[in-house]
Copies of this chain bind each other. A is one copy, B any other.
């Protein structure tokens, strides 16, 4: 994803207006590597703009996705996740427990489909989801002072 300034430019030149809400969303997405859901984006943006509606967030996320500035992902956590990183070819690590999603920046060129195993599909891309436990969820809960941890 480009910088908020560049996005401002891009929105204008694509006939979209640049509002305070949108710029706030740009800023929030900027450098966010957590692959937030729309709700999560809304939660953060709301801290700065109390009255912004979830609707507006969805709309802006879709605009950004339409412009190719972010990607929307379905990694099986029940909500669409949004990814500002559209430049690095990468895959994803997904925590079975808390649903956190992180980038795994690595290319697997050896992902060749064995001859004849493709069942006639014209394959264009491959997405790998690595499932496991994130560092937070791995942490033994019972060591030292019990550390309260929210389930979200």
Where the two chains meet, the residues of A that have a C-beta atom closer than 8 Å to any C-beta of B are: 74, 76, 93, 95-96, 102-106, 108, 110-111, 113-114, 117-135, 138
Contact = CB atoms under 8 A, between A and B. Distances in A.
Contact of A132 (B108, B123, B130): B123
Nearest to A137: B122
B120 A135 contact: yes
A129 B111 CA distance: 11
Given A95-B121, A132-B125, A106 B110 contact: no
A137 to B, nearest CB: 9
Contact of A123 (B93, B114, B126): B93
A105 B131 contact: no
A119 to B, nearest CB: 5
Contact of A125 (B124, B125, B131, B138): B131
Nearest to A126: B130
B128 A124 contact: no
Contacts of A122: 132-133, 138
A125 B111 CA distance: 16
A105 B108 CA distance: 18
Nearest to A119: B102
Contact of A111 (B108, B118, B134): B108
Given A102-B119, A121-B132, 12 more contacts: A93-B118, A93-B119, A95-B121, A96-B124, A102-B121, A108-B110, A122-B133, A123-B131, A125-B131, A126-B128, A127-B129, A128-B128
